[in-house]
Amino acid sequence: MTLQEQQGEAELIAAILAGETQLYHDLIRPYERPVYLLALSYMKNETDAEDVAQEAFLKAFRHLSSFRADAKFSTWLISIALNEARGRLRRQTAARTESLDKDPDEEGAVSPALLRDWREIPSEAVERGEIRDLLRKAVETLPEIYREVFLLRDVEELNINETAEALNISVSAVKVRLHRARLMLQKYLAPQLKSVTKPKRRWFAWS
Amino acid sequence: MVIECKHVWTYISDYLDGTLSEEIRVTVQKHLEHCELCSAILDSTRNILVLTADDRVFELPVGFSERLHQRLEEELKQKKGS
């Protein structure tokens, strides 16, 4: 985001707080996708994710006056969405005690899938439904702490500092988790993508 | 300086982000020039990142935006009325 855009955003927020509430529609438009994707990564189904996203946008509106002008609106909004998603998951799966006692960043190295060669898969391949499903499923199977970093950083293209701030973790934790997420995806996806995108043998090509 | 493949793998993410120190970057670069295995791993990782970042992979549900703004509109009206 450019400085100008950031200033524009600050002015929008001031105007909304001063009573021009309609401007809230414009303020949030750029964040519909990142907020929804983050919600989806927690809820794993579209209906709940949409609900969480709507709630997050409503909460942000109701609490807009507590937004500190020195923070970034995007990271503030994302942390509201994150709390909303986590809170709802907690209520759904009452008291999951998974991995509270160990530091996930301490786990060992992830090794990639070993390949001898790689033929570039063009982005047109994404038009094929099976490829899209494969990519989505791969991201969904990442453990939560890697998935959220990956989505914000590599899918939504927040920078490292913004990702750290939104998730309330350190910059070095972002780097470690991102690295693991990327290698896990490579390990899971590279062999499968290689086989589904292999050029089909053309029978009777000479007839 | 010569490094082993498994060390190169620990630098893949930083290499892709361009955040390695110059010295390590050069070492990794040299390794990649003669190691088919590591360059295939790097190329596939980079390729996968391009594919997963494609907007078509994660799409907003149809009507998401309309429903969201409709719900906001109700909230905004209420606020005005209150």
- pLDDT band for position B11 (50/70/90)? very high
What pLDDT does residue A104 have?
A: 58
- Which residue in B14, B49, B76 is closest to A24 by CB distance? B76
Tens-digit pLDDT profile for residues A88-141: 988 887 644 454 445 556 667 789 999 989 999 999 999 999 999 999 999 999
Of B16, B47, B61, the CB nearest to A46: B61
Interval B22-78: pLDDT, tens: 999 999 999 999 999 999 999 999 999 999 999 899 989 999 999 999 999 999 888
d(CA A13, CA A60): 11
Higher model confidence: residue A203 or residue B23? B23
Helix, strand, coil % (nearest 5) of chain A?
Answer: 70, 0, 30
Domain extents for chain A? 3-92, 115-196
A133-to-A30, B29, B35, B43 alpha-carbon distances in Å: 25, 34, 32, 22
* Closest residue on chain A to B63 (Cα): A50
pTM comes to 0.84
Return the DSSP state at A100.
S
Q: What is the mean pLDDT of residues A152-173?
A: 92
Residue A70's pLDDT is what? 76
Fold of the CATH domain A115-196: Arc Repressor Mutant, subunit A (1.10.10)
Closest B-chain CA to A189: B48
Lowest mean pLDDT among A36-50, A191-205, B65-79: A191-205
Q: Look at B4 and A92; give whichever has higher pLDDT.
A: B4
What architecture (CATH level 2) is domain A3-92? Orthogonal Bundle (1.10)
Say whether A186 and B67 touch across the interface (CB within 8 A). no
> pLDDT at residue A62 above 70?
yes
Work out the minimum CA distance from B71 to partner chain A, whole angstroms.
8
CB count within 10 Å of CB A55 equals 18
CA–CA dist B2, B33 (Å, integer) = 12
pLDDT band at A7 (very low <50, low <70, confident <90, very high): confident
pLDDT at B81 over 70: no
Q: Do A135 and B6 touch (CB under 8 A)?
A: no
Q: What ipTM score was computed for the predicted complex, to two decimals?
A: 0.89
Angle at A190 between CA B40 and CA A124, to 5 degrees: 100
Give mean pLDDT, residues A139-155. Answer: 93
Q: Is B2 left (phi over 0), alpha (psi -120 to 50) or beta?
A: beta
